[in-house]
Amino acid sequence: MKRFYITLLIITIGFIRSNAQTFSDGFESYTPGSKLAASSTVWKTWTLPYTAAEDVTIINTNAFNSNQSIFFTSTNGGPTDIILPFEDVFNTGQFEIGMKLNVTSGKQGYFNLQKTSTPGQIWALDATFKADATLEITNNGTILLSVPYTQGAWFDFVLSVNLNNSEWQVKIDGNLVGTFQNATYEIASMNLFAIGNSSFYVDDVNYTHTPYTAPQLNASLTILSIPNGLVGQSVKPTFTIRNLGIDAITSYKVDVLYNGSAYNQTITGLSIAGGNETQLTFDQSIVLVAGSQPLTGQITLVNNTLDDDTSDNDKIIFVNPIQPATGKIVVAEEGTGTWCGWCPRGAVFMDNLTSAYGEHFAGIAVHNADPMTIAEYDTPLGASFSGYPSALIDRGNDIDPSAMEASFITRVQIAPKAVLLNGANYDAVNGTLSVSIKTTATQNFTGNYKIACVLTENHVKGTGNGWAQSNYYSGGSNGVMGGYELLPNPVPANLMIYNHVARAISPSFTGEANAFGAATTGNEFIHNFTFSIPAAWNIDSMHIIGLFISPNGQIDNASNSTVQQAITNGYLSGTNVGFADILFNETQQEARIYPNPTEGLSILELDIKVKSDVTISISRMDGVIVQQRTYQSINGIQQVPMQTDQLTPGCYVIQIAGSNLNKQLILIKK
């Protein structure tokens, strides 16, 4: 193996290069025991211009198929840290980098690609050859690819990328093992670093870049993405469109195909110069379906005609949305305070999860040492935190608010033992809010299950001491954080609106003990809570969150509604303390529905004591009525068929309303 480096004449046309660059180094031309960066005109150390401690040694004890290689080892990371700068910052054309690797069994190997010519500014991707023999490629913490590799032996690794449309491929020993798209498609260098607990050899490093010659007109669909979502949610795809031609782009048309349905959108009035890009959020929503399904995006027209290079007009990704457990609502309790400069992070991620996951998420911002603090909630919750901001998902482990989504995804798929429904009455004259929480067992359970009720308020504002929000994101030096980077530190009180603010918890943080006893599937329990609402609180901005707490202290499930939704559901009388009464039993019922859960047809059995008109409605948990029918002058025991074939899986409220009857049942559609 001979080391060589060839740079051909480069002709620049705008942002485009027209001649290839190649590089190869087998480390054979160096003296064993010498330092690579010190001996090379190409290799550098991470800390420029040169840092001896970061340089790697040429060895002759283990090589791929000749004499010499380089070796990285560390227990805690570093100091070995070297850079292979590329000929330029590549952002178009075809790029391929390869090397031979040998990762010691039980150890790790690592490299990354840098986006800019100065190392340490922006990472294009990280590739970690983990100790469990998994290659994990990530960008900014997002896993792009995870595949197995062989430890304890040499293997050939090749990473190929079409930079025009950000299509990346990984080959190991000549076999294609995975593909992905990467939102960062500029690459300037490779960094080999002795990551913690590492031991790996590198040989035969090489790369080739084949530049792209710009046609007159070309739009590239570079990135196609879709928000994380749940089955049944409506979401909007997003696109990154690059101008890889010479002419400016003034309009384009995008077509989308998903689950047999086609959509399109035309964007006009543009002026996108060559080398620039634009982002588009589709104006039409698609409804996510279960299973891994292809989502196809295609640019079909550019400037009202076909562009000159259609090879980069298409993009296919596979969408596999999360299937939430029926009736599951996940609770996030965030510890925050206006004094806490990092706490805007919690507010941003709480709002993001509320927006993304709607009816399956309930957020509670528990304030500490500021005017919104309620001690009976803040004190016990704060004992679970190592610092601020922190969060608990369903009262699991203490996590940073930025990690809430991952924990949410895990929890939302776990079937709860019961589903909850809020009801309420509100006396505006004396400010009394009476809440009922109906808990319907969806599994048999026994033990010290507890119940609690939380009130939260959105759009909270205040003036005076303690209402201004400390903001360490001001100025952008700590990154983008939902707009807080554009605000001062502190954010003046008159600019701050606080959401999800915990206002009250009853009967306590731990809940009413032994609230259910032994329950079998279908048993229904009613608990009542009473709150005095101060005049300063806005009842129209408040939410009621019921907590069904397991014996281990974790939240098994929850309810979440506005006060008005709970009033619409209706208030039910139950018990305030001790064991809850079962609302209906097997021998004396006014209404029951079976089978429940159901896959299609259920029977609603009514015992109407006085002849009357009865209206039966089926509503989603958010209060939207999906079926309704009125039966006139019925009396006695009646069996009403309830056809649910057209309903999507989930929990529904069956409302039975008549002159002498007002009942609610929970129906679970499989």
Q: What residue spans define the domains of the chain?
A: 4-210, 219-319, 324-415+461-496, 416-455+504-583, 591-669
Give the chain's mean pLDDT.
90
Tell me whether domains 4-210 and 591-669 share a fold: no
Bridge partner list, 391: 334, 399
Bridge partner list, 602: 642
H or E element in which residue 436 lies: strand 432-441
CA angle at 500 for the pair 494 and 502, rounded to the nearest 5°: 100
Alpha carbon dihedral 56, 58, 59, 64, in 10-degree steps, equals 100
Over 80: is that where the pLDDT of 418 sits? yes
Of 145, 139, 146, nearest to 123 by C-alpha is 139
pLDDT tens digit sequence for 469-485: 999 999 998 988 999 99
Q: Is 257 helix (H, G, I), strand (E, B) or coil?
A: strand
Kindly list the distances between the CA atom of residue 28 and the CA atoms of 58, 68, 189, in Å, as whole numbers in the listed order. Answer: 9, 6, 22
Q: Is 495 helix (H, G, I), strand (E, B) or coil?
A: helix
Q: Tell me if 545 sits within 8 A of 456, measured CB to CB.
A: yes
H or E element in which residue 568 lies: helix 563-569
- pLDDT at site 195: 96
Q: What is the mean pLDDT of residues 497-512?
A: 96
Domain at 324-415+461-496, CATH from 3.40.30.10, 3.30.428.10, 3.90.226.10, 3.40.630.30: 3.40.30.10
Q: How confident is the model at residue 631 (pLDDT cuts 50, 70, 90)?
A: confident
Of 657, 454, 669, nearest to 569 by C-alpha is 657
Burial profile 491-510: b = 16 or more Cβ within 10 angstroms, e = fewer = bebeebebbbbbbbbbbebe
Domain at 416-455+504-583, CATH from 1.10.10.10, 2.60.40.10, 2.60.120.10, 2.40.37.10: 2.60.40.10
- What token pair was written down for 372? 């919104």
Q: What is the mean pLDDT of residues 203-215?
A: 97
Over 90: is that where the pLDDT of 649 sits? no
pLDDT tens digit sequence for 109-132: 999 999 999 999 999 999 999 999
Over 60: is that where the pLDDT of 580 sits? no
Architecture of the domain made up of 591-669? Sandwich (2.60)
User: Which of 125-139, 531-545, 621-635 has the least mean pLDDT?
Assistant: 621-635
- What token pair was written down for 376? 């009976």
Q: What is the mean pLDDT of residues 660-665?
A: 71
Q: What is the DSSP string of 216-243?
A: SS-EEEEEEE----BTT-EE--EEEEEE
Of 196, 181, 188, 269, nearest to 226 by C-alpha is 181
Q: What is the mean pLDDT of residues 441-447?
A: 96
The CATH class for the domain spanning 4-210 reads mainly beta
More confident residue, 177 or 603: 177
CA angle at 209 for the pair 280 and 141, rounded to the nearest 5°: 50
Over 50: is that where the pLDDT of 367 sits? yes
pLDDT tens digit sequence for 264-312: 999 999 999 999 999 999 999 999 999 999 999 999 999 999 999 999 9
- pLDDT at site 651: 78
- pLDDT > 70: percent of the chain: 94
Q: How confident is the model at residue 653 (pLDDT cuts 50, 70, 90)?
A: confident
pLDDT tens digit sequence for 234-259: 999 999 999 999 999 999 999 999 99
Over 50: is that where the pLDDT of 144 sits? yes
Architecture of the domain made up of 219-319? Sandwich (2.60)
Q: Is 358 helix (H, G, I), strand (E, B) or coil?
A: helix
